[in-house]
Structure 1
Amino acid sequence: MALPWKLHGDGREVGASEIVQPEERLSWPRTVGFGAQHVIAMFGATFLVPRITGFDPSATLLFSGLGTLLFLLITRNRLPSYLGSSFAFLAPIGAATAAAGQGAALAGVIVVGVLLMIVGAIVHRVGTRWIDVLMPPVVSGAIVALIGFNLAPAAKTNFEASPLIATITLLAIILSAVLFKGLLGRLSIIIGVVVGTIAAAIAGEFDLGAFNEAPLLGLPVFTLPEFSPQHLTIYLMFLPVVLALVAENVGHIKGVGQLIDRDLSPLTGRALFADGLASTIAGLGGGSPTTTYGENIGVMSATRVFSTAAYWVAGIVAILLALSPKVGALIFAIPEGVLGGVTTALYGLIGIIGVRIWVENRVDFSKPKNQLTAGVALIMAIADFTVSGGGMTFTGIILGTVAALVVYHLMSALARWRGTEDERLT
């Protein structure tokens, strides 16, 4: 059976004004090299999620690779993307694990995955207009931002475990992002981890005992989800993540479309369904839930190679890495102080992605409805407001998400009722 990619030019070079389209490829040695670049680009963020949540790193890599291959199949090799670990799940996973264990957290992941699949099926059928109406940029930006900023206390805890190592790690991330360009600049997280780990080793805070004892080859450790009617509140904590994943996927599709000068919006439903399916499968086996990765868009932008063939290589490499317990043991050996520096940067960057949505869509914050939508939602999430009643507890992420939706649509409805074009309730 013939492979679906046609050779770009002579397969060796990419002209200054050319790009390698998703249905094209370079020579296979070069394609493998670009695939390896995508593995490196995604690895820094992908492995941190299982290190933070306690999920098995090898299972995370396995389901990440499998999810990527499924994504490429479902989007018919027309949307280049790698599905790495999603940071949007960190807060509900942490809360669910603390309250009821990893099995309950994995059940929450599956709930989100199934809902995202449903959203994808609806979008494929009726289009994305209803998403734009439900979540205009001020709302989607607020939801993405509040998920990142809600994690601030966790970053503080990690940082305080070893302030010196955390500071060295954070400085390494900042300096590498500023001093390096291209791929190296996009690998600032990995560089920070390496520098911080070296500093931790010098300080005697790096233990490789588990790595030395782990076998070279072996299957990941799989964990099954645990569903229970008593965990309804836990599942509700995960619901805002669906909205964040929709925003991330839509942003990814628009970003890639702009870079290759194509309208990829007809693939939105397929992309959402594929991401939901990948997260669902990961939840069934104990892997971290997935999302599209901006790091890999950066690699494509820098190399001008958008071939989905490179992503097939990346997915296969991730699966192969998952079959080495030593990889997982090395990830779990990362010192707490290093995590402190990395999470301080990463959680802040997640929050800023929401701010970026506001900037790119030119949200007008002179309007009270936009001010209050963002302000109320962020305060509820950052302070982690908690409301209990009827045997259920709602925390900052879900309260902030509900607040963003209610405040925006309530104020919009009142403005329309009053006929005020500038939507000011004065």
Structure 2
Amino acid sequence: MALWKLHGNGRTVEPGAVVRPDERLSWPATIAVGVQHVIAMFGATFLVPVLTGFPVSTTLLFSGVGTLLFLLITRNKLPSYLGSSFAFIAPVTAATATQGMGSALAGIVAVGVLLAAVGVIVQFAGLGWIDTLMPPVVAGAIVALIGFNLAPVAWQNFQVQPLVGTVTLVAVVLFAVLFRGFLGRISIVLGVVVGYVFAVIVQLSTGEQLIDFQAVSDAAWLGLPEFHIADFASPGTWSVIAMFLPVVLVLIAENVGHVRGVATMTDPSVNRSTGRALIADGAATTLAGTFGGSGTTTYGENIGVMAATRVYSTAAYWVAGTVAILLSLSPKVGAVFNTIPAGVLGGVTTALYGLIGIIGIKIWVDNRVDFSRPVNQYTAAVSLVIAIAGFTIVWGDFQLGAIVIGAAAALLIYHLGNAIARARKTGADDGGPIPAVGPLGGDPR
């Protein structure tokens, strides 16, 4: 109780004021806000395990545990919910198909450990080196390529039940366009609901088996989630781990953006928690991957809830994490989500995977990336084509997928291209040859 000061009368937020992280409303109001955070995160969090074949209940458990761990490591100063990260979908899907779930979990653990290590460095050295390594053109390319690499997966599900997929996709788009505020932010969830109901109607009217409810009927109301252990012993695990490493760059960008967003809306001193936020997300991801859960990240959906309610109290997130843990203890909840038809998944992921790609493009737009420069053109162009086409490199049992190749290409092209441009500029200034004009009219310098 002593962790938070009561804000005002505990019932309302004054015009122009916010409930700071170290404050809270009355406990009934705080619980209500916490439940709202659960609703906001739920759609995205359950979609990741549904799409990757991981147990839904296990993912819910570790999202709740991870959130509480995050609050502890950040010393209860940074409001955030840790839900399933979409950045893991592509490598998990590829790894599970080739090496099995154990190796995919090992990849998640490796990402968590590396992210925590980056957090330790940031805590002592600051963020400048990350900005140098991963400027906006590179960050945007890596985020975009992860989304676009998943396009074939969306099509595979869509074509199984094209009518259901179309209805789901149309519903997602309409909800996003027609509604503002909270309903607009959960358009993905609402689209899944519409698609699911439509599939039930089709099944009842035509007799076509789209959904099997037997597993829901057989599942217990209460029980422990299904655990799996990360497998580092399989021969192909290390090539899987290489496939996961670019995800670290995405998680860094997401966490840094989250901290900066909260700092802007509450107190600039929150930025000092950036290193701890990275450590906390790394620890939560490591824990989840070790025992069968999806990798985690700070959730933008919950920033939207905070912006709408003006309640940034960490108390609400303690409530949200606890509620998620309680939900995970019902196998019947997980069984319901496992009945979602392929057509619904195909429709919703057609929008979802595209949106991940658009987030990367938004990074370019927000930072006014200059695409008249050839080095920026090729950084983006080459990495995206590698991801969309699904390039792979194979050496015996070791395989590199399109995500790691595309991310490496973005980093190499940008940094080597700039180094060469600087060297040539120095040569031109000394009377040497003048660089040629780039393919779209830009000076490579």
Q: What SS class does the counterpart of residue 245 from structure 2 fall into? A: helix
* Identical positions, percent: 63
- Distance in 1 (CA, whole Å) between partners of 2:134 and 2:106 is 26
Whether the aligned pair in 2 keeps the contact of 1:83 and 1:293 (CA below 8 Å) is yes
Q: Is 1:158 paired with 2:160? A: no
- Distance in 2 (CA, whole Å) between partners of 1:419 and 1:26 is 59
Q: Is 1:223 paired with 2:222? A: no
TM-score, normalised via structure 1 length: 0.97
Counterparts of residues 201-212 of structure 1 (less than 5 Å): 201-204=200-203, 205-212=210-217
The amino acid across from 2:279 in the alignment is: F
- Distance in 2 (CA, whole Å) between partners of 1:345 and 1:38 is 23
Shift of 1:261: 4.6
Q: Is 1:425 paired with 2:431? A: no
Whether the aligned pair in 2 keeps the contact of 1:369 and 1:424 (CA below 8 Å) is no
TM-score, normalised via structure 2 length: 0.93
2:289 to 255, 279, 283: 283
- Structure 2 equivalent of residue 243 of structure 1: 249
- Deviation digits for residues 99-133 of structure 1, max 9, x if unmatched? 11111111111111111111111111111110000
- Distance in 1 (CA, whole Å) between partners of 2:300 and 2:101 is 28
The amino acid across from 1:346 in the alignment is: L
Q: What SS class does the counterpart of residue 393 from structure 1 fall into? A: strand
Shift of 1:418: 2.4
- Distance in 2 (CA, whole Å) between partners of 1:90 and 1:306 is 29
Shift of 1:391: 4.2
Shift of 1:263: 4.1
Counterparts of residues 39-118 of structure 1 (less than 5 Å): 39-118=38-117
- Deviation digits for residues 191-237 of structure 1, max 9, x if unmatched? 11111100000111232211111111000010111112622111100
- Distance in 2 (CA, whole Å) between partners of 1:218 and 1:296 is 28
Q: Is 1:392 paired with 2:391? A: no
- Structure 2 equivalent of residue 377 of structure 1: 383
Please tell me whether Structure 1 or Structure 2 has the larger radius of gyration of its CA atoms.
2
- Distance in 2 (CA, whole Å) between partners of 1:296 and 1:352 is 19
- Distance in 2 (CA, whole Å) between partners of 1:3 and 1:333 is 44
- Structure 2 equivalent of residue 126 of structure 1: 125
Q: Is 1:343 paired with 2:349? A: yes
Shift of 1:342: 0.9
Shift of 1:390: 5.2
The count of residues paired between Structure 1 and Structure 2 equals 425
- Distance in 1 (CA, whole Å) between partners of 2:8 and 2:95 is 52
The amino acid across from 2:75 in the alignment is: R
Shift of 1:242: 0.8
- Structure 1 equivalent of residue 195 of structure 2: 196
Whether the aligned pair in 2 keeps the contact of 1:117 and 1:273 (CA below 8 Å) is yes
- Structure 2 equivalent of residue 313 of structure 1: 319
Shift of 1:264: 2.6
After TM superposition, the structure 1 stretch with the greater mean CA deviation from structure 2, 49-58 or 389-398, is 389-398
Whether the aligned pair in 1 keeps the contact of 2:372 and 2:443 (CA below 8 Å) is no
- Distance in 2 (CA, whole Å) between partners of 1:164 and 1:292 is 34
Q: What SS class does the counterpart of residue 122 from structure 2 fall into? A: helix
Whether the aligned pair in 2 keeps the contact of 1:415 and 1:424 (CA below 8 Å) is no
Whether the aligned pair in 1 keeps the contact of 2:49 and 2:59 (CA below 8 Å) is yes
- Distance in 2 (CA, whole Å) between partners of 1:265 and 1:415 is 34
- Deviation digits for residues 227-256 of structure 1, max 9, x if unmatched? 126221111001111111111111111122
- Distance in 1 (CA, whole Å) between partners of 2:444 and 2:128 is 27
Q: Is 1:214 paired with 2:219? A: yes
- Deviation digits for residues 276-319 of structure 1, max 9, x if unmatched? 11011111111111011111111111111111111110000000
- Deviation digits for residues 149-194 of structure 1, max 9, x if unmatched? 1000001111111111111111111111111222111111111111
Counterparts of residues 29-44 of structure 1 (less than 5 Å): 29-44=28-43
CA RMSD of aligned residues (A): 1.5
Structure 2 unmatched ranges of 5 or more: 204-209, 430-434, 436-441
- Distance in 1 (CA, whole Å) between partners of 2:119 and 2:361 is 25
Structure 1 unmatched ranges of 5 or more: none
Whether the aligned pair in 2 keeps the contact of 1:39 and 1:317 (CA below 8 Å) is yes
- Deviation digits for residues 333-380 of structure 1, max 9, x if unmatched? 111111111111111111111111111111111111111111111111
- Deviation digits for residues 313-335 of structure 1, max 9, x if unmatched? 00000000000001100110111
Whether the aligned pair in 1 keeps the contact of 2:103 and 2:234 (CA below 8 Å) is no
- Distance in 2 (CA, whole Å) between partners of 1:391 and 1:169 is 39
